Amino acid sequence: MSRISVRGFAVASATAVTAVGSVVGVASGSTAQNNDAEATATGATLLADIPAGQQAQVQTASLTQQADAQAIQADASAKKDAEAAARKAAAETAIAKKEAAKEAAEKAAKEAKERAEAKASASRSKDISDFPVATSYSIAQLQAMARQMVPAGQFQCFSNIVDHESDWNYKAVNPSSGAYGMFQALPGSKMSSVGADWRTNPATQIKWGLNYMNDRYGSPCDAWSFWQANNWY
């Protein structure tokens, strides 16, 4: 094939590609202007002038080019969507972590405040010396005594523990372990840190029990939560 024929084939092929694309667009429902129709007609004539064996190659090249362009566009769109989704997910995760950390900090601050208030209230409550010693006490008297020593918001939890440990019997003794008193201290002599009369003075026992709950668990209600989970404290 001469140089002139090669060049002519290239020009005819390019024109034919345009013609094929125009024909495909018209077939798919596109509205063409008059000049597009003329270009299509011209291109169709040139395509007809190409030898039959080469027309299929020109048409295939055109369709392949269109398919490649569409594939590149689809890949770019998919990549863009994936990046946008990843950025959105990362932002949502960061927001969720921030909110969780904020809630945890608020909860810890609230608990610390409640414990501090409970201890402060306990320090302002009546002490052992404020209660006259008697030879015997009713449960109602013991509970009234405890109400004056235990913060109001903590009394029910405090009372729940005493109910389960001794049923408010300040002389209760565990026959197996020897645990003693309303709080079943083991050994009972632990309560001597508050007063030497721990065996007979319920005020001494109440003071010791309140100190124990505050020091070990933070408050009577924290002690009661532990007791419920373990059946001991």
Q: Given this model, what pLDDT does residue 5 score?
A: 46
The series of mean pLDDT values per 10 residues for the chain, 233 residues long, is: 44 46 43 48 55 72 86 89 90 88 86 70 68 92 96 97 97 96 97 96 97 97 98 94
Q: Given this model, what pLDDT does residue 162 score?
A: 98
Q: Given this model, what pLDDT does residue 11 score?
A: 44
Q: Given this model, what pLDDT does residue 231 score?
A: 94
Total-model pTM:
0.49
Q: Given this model, what pLDDT does residue 9 score?
A: 45
Give the chain's domains with CATH numbers: 3-80 (no CATH), 125-230 (1.10.530)
Buried b (16+ CB within 10 A) or exposed e, 189-218: ebbeebbeebbebbbbbbbbbbebbbeebb
**Concatenated DSSP letters of 76-106:** HHHHHHHHHHHHHHHHHHHHHHHHHHHHHHH
> CA-based angle 182:188:191, to the nearest 5?
80
Question: At 133, which helix (H) or strand (E)?
Answer: none
**Concatenated DSSP letters of 144-211:** HHHHHHS-GGGHHHHHHHHHHHTTT-TT-B-TTT--BTTTTBSSGGGGGGT-TTTTT-HHHHHHHHHH
